[in-house]
Amino acid sequence: MAQYPPIMPDMPVLLHGGDYNPEQWIKMKDTIWPQDMELAKKAGVNTLSVGIFSWSMLEPEEGVYHFEWLDEVMDMLAKNGIKAILATPSGARPAWMAEKYPEVLRMDAMRHKQLFGARHNHCLTSPVYREKVRQINTLLATRYKDHPALGMWHISNEYGGECHCPLCQDAFRKWLKARYGTIENMNDQFWNTFWSHRYSSFEQVESPSPIGENWNLALSLAWRRFTSDQFCDFYSHEIAPLKEITPDIPCTANLMDFFPGIDYFKFGKLLDRASWDNYPPWTGDERDKESALHTAIMHDIIRGVGGQKPFMMMESSPSAVNWHPINRLRQPGILMLQSLQAIAHGSDTVQYFQFRKGLGSSEQYHGAIVGHDNSDQSRIFREVSEVGHTLGKISEVTGSAPESKVALIYDWDNLWILNEAQFGNNENKKYIETVKDHYAAWKQLGYNVDMIDQTGDLTPYQIVCGPMLYLLKDGFAEKVQAFVEKGGTYVATYITGWVNEENLAHLGGYPGPLRNVLGIWDEETDTLDDTRKNHFTYNGKSYACKDVCALVHAESAKPLASYEEYFYQGMPALTKNTLGKGQAYYIAARTDRDFLRAFYADVAAEKSLTPLMKNLPDGVLCTERSGDKGDYLFVMNTQPEERTITLPAGLNLRTDEAMEGEYTLNGYEVLVLKRLSSYSLHS
Ligand code: GLA
Ligand code: ZN
């Protein structure tokens, strides 16, 4: 059982709050700021993120600093018992900096230099930008190191994008040299004799571009890895003065939903806590099932990125956002569902963007706790206050975390190269969709799932699923083999083990170094368009195969099902290999979730795993967090209609009622049940 310390030691409860931009109201501060504090307290807000885009207010001219307003804000927060998540301002820069030092501006892949504007667009390499960031971060840390409001550092905002300027080209070449040593070796690893692409010096290498090199897959992969590493490096640079001056204050950077640009598992190792910004398109109808699953897997990815510790939902919208194509109002109940779903998956926070709706600019109609009505009587304000109240009631879950015997692999290197690779269906290899399908099957069966990447430790798990691991990182196959030999169950699918970490195909048949573990030879792969389906029968039931069918020979493995159509009729569609004390399955074709659900139910039964709840109705999800004080089952109805479930014995933490047996959840209702075994044991 895991019990983690609270994110902020002097705020040992679930955190509730959001992005707060008091500097936008500085000319009305005498009326607005005191109202903000009153409204924040009414809504049960205990944490606000400040300073995220404040650079031009902190340093309006080079070297001219104005911290007085922030001093006042920090004092005001402290006085009102609110903790500050204080941001470094690098997410957007002042105009004077762009004017005086154009090197801070990005260059795009077409080699166009950008103008001043927007945000999240600084050069990652620029020594000037790095120096300016070091200066301002040092000043912030020095000024607020002993301030009672300082609870955490919020580093920049939503790092992303890429820069192709000469400084970045130079850094890329150095990165390549460090990785490959010699240009000869790099040419070999990239297979550069193809199309006469051998370089004779690193100086000739340019980042991928539509007007230059855009067909060299290994170069593209290297560029993705480099850019991701540049963000790790930039983050390390940003936190260096903070760690020196405020060593006890935790740091985070807010991550994004399935953001492809940074290997979050690698980046996450640098974060004290992982955090992310959650903006699902809740539509108030059956599509919310998919939104809920999407959000669930993202919460679990972020928890995995943060080493399975409680993480932070750093942003979410209290109502409609302003940037989806159609911004539907949140139906009553959805805000509570969205908020408790985050907690259910291990978040110790519910934070929103934004506290108060601005009067102008591009986010003036984005959902906020306080609207342009400036009222505590709005529906949104009341719903946010109810969330605040509920977080208070369930606050004993703080520091507990979900535990799982099942891990699912999602891997950025694999995503990057599958986005580049030319074979099969070139419009969409459907890697993310496939991972989500496997995840959905486990969730519909009622299990907690840990999300890891290929570098993750497999030993805590009984079942590890690695769908579509086309690229196998060095050492991964050996790790899987040891896991299976010791008794684990490994599940692989079609398109596994084609290339090594450098994108060179394995000579000697797919799935490369996993061939022994899986006991198969995957000889060819058929790609089906939407008009074609194959079929197989598993446990007496027929299932459809779509998109991808691998033509597999069972070597030491045993076939469990075979194709029923096309020229490969009779070849295995599903195999099982036994190795040491464990087993390895190969799902040769892409199927719908119905098969995955039936199959994983059997795989779990073979391991004697039991779900958190049985017979979950369609649209109901559950998770469990465990800690020193007990085990907490979260049951979530992601649909507007009622759903009937059967509950284990427990205490409903939201109502203080004992519960057991049949219960009908209202639309979007969430139950937080402390299991009876745990509350009788622990209290
Ligand atoms: C992102 C940003 C915020 C804000 C919200 C709007 O997550 O971090 O600054 O723009 O989107 O949804
Ligand atoms: Zn650059």
The pLDDT tens digits for 582-635 are: 999 999 999 999 999 999 999 999 999 999 999 999 999 999 999 999 999 999
Residues 406-606: name the CATH superfamily. Class I glutamine amidotransferase (GATase) domain (3.40.50.880)
Residue nearest to atom 1 of ligand 1 (CA): 277
CA nearest to 19, candidates 255, 317, 414, 382: 317
CA–CA gap between residue 59 and residue 66 (Å, rounded): 6
pLDDT of residue 677: 80
Span 351-410, pLDDT tens digits: 999 999 999 999 999 999 999 999 999 999 999 999 999 999 999 999 999 999 999 999
Contacts 24+ apart (CB under 8 A), 481-484: 481/516, 481/517, 481/579, 483/458, 483/459, 483/582, 484/517, 484/579, 484/580, 484/582, 484/583, 484/584
189-247 per-position pLDDT tens digit: 999 999 999 999 999 999 999 999 999 999 999 999 999 999 999 999 999 999 999 99
Q: How many CA atoms, within 13 angstroms, populate the side-chain half-sphere of residue 511? A: 36
Distances (CA, A) of 553 to 136, 487, 507, 595, 599: 61, 24, 17, 21, 20
| Token pair recorded at residue 496 | 């596994």
- Residue 476 to residue 488: CA distance in whole angstroms: 15
Dihedral sign, Cα of residue 669, residue 670, residue 675, residue 680: negative
The residues placing their C-beta within 5 Å of ligand 2, an ion, are: 123, 125, 163, 165, 167-168
* CA–centroid distance, residue 382 to ligand 1 (Å): 22
Reading across the β-sheet that carries 657-665, which strands appear in turn? Answer: 401-402, 620-627, 630-637, 670-675, 643-652, 657-665
CATH assignment, 620-675? 2.60.40.1180
Distance 369 CA to ligand 1 centre (A): 14
Structure tokens belonging to residue 297 = 């897997």
Ligand 1: residues with CB < 6 A are 157-158, 277, 279, 315, 321, 353, 363, 366
Q: Tell me how far apart the terminal alpha carbons of the chain are, to the nearest angstrom.
A: 17
- Return the domain boundaries, the chain: 406-606, 620-675
In three-state form (DSSP H/G/I as H, E/B as E, the rest C), the secondary structure along 338-388 is HHHHHHHCCEEEEEECCCECCCCCCCCCCCCCECCCCCCCCHHHHHHHHHH
Strand spans (E) along 126-260: 150-154, 251-252, 254-255
- Which residue's CA is the nearest one to ligand 1's atom 7? 277
The pair of structure tokens assigned to 349 is 């926070």
Cα of 233 vs centre of ligand 2, distance in Å, is 14
Q: Quick: pLDDT tens for 623-651.
A: 999 999 999 999 999 999 999 999 999 99
Q: Which ligand is nearest to the CA of 126?
A: 2
Write the burial class of residue 605 (CB in 10 Å: 0-12 exposed, 13-18 middle, 19+ buried): exposed
Instruction: Give the chain's mean pLDDT.
Output: 97
Confidence of residue 59 (pLDDT cuts 50, 70, 90): very high
Which H or E run includes 579?
strand 572-579
- CB neighbours of 621 closer than 8 A, spacing ≥ 6? 292, 293, 296, 341, 443, 635, 636, 638
Residue 210's Cβ-side half-sphere holds a number of Cα atoms within 13 Å equal to 5
SS3 at position 571: coil
Contact 632, 650 (CB under 8 A): no
Kindly tell me the burial class for residue 204, based on how many C-beta atoms sit within 10 Å of its own C-beta (0-12, 13-18, 19 or more).
exposed
Q: What's the predicted TM-score (pTM) here?
A: 0.98
pLDDT tens digits for 534-551? 999 999 999 999 999 999
Q: Tell me which ligand sits closest to the C-alpha of residue 102.
A: 2
- Tell the residue nearest (CA) to atom 12 of ligand 1: 321
Active centre residues (catalytic): 158, 315
Which of 167, 160, 314, 143 has its CA nearest to residue 241? 143
Residue 93: φ, ψ to 5° = -115, 155
Nearest CA to ligand 1 atom 5: 353
What does the alpha-carbon distance between residue 400 and residue 20 come to, in Å, rounded to a whole number?
Answer: 28
Mean pLDDT of 142-166: 98
Locate all alpha helices (DSSP H) within 202-357, ordered by sequence. Answer: 217-245, 264-268, 288-305, 334-344
For residue 353, the CA-to-ligand 1 centroid distance in Å is 6
Residue 82's CB is within 10 A of a number of other CB atoms, namely: 23
Note the ligand closest to the C-alpha atom of 171.
2
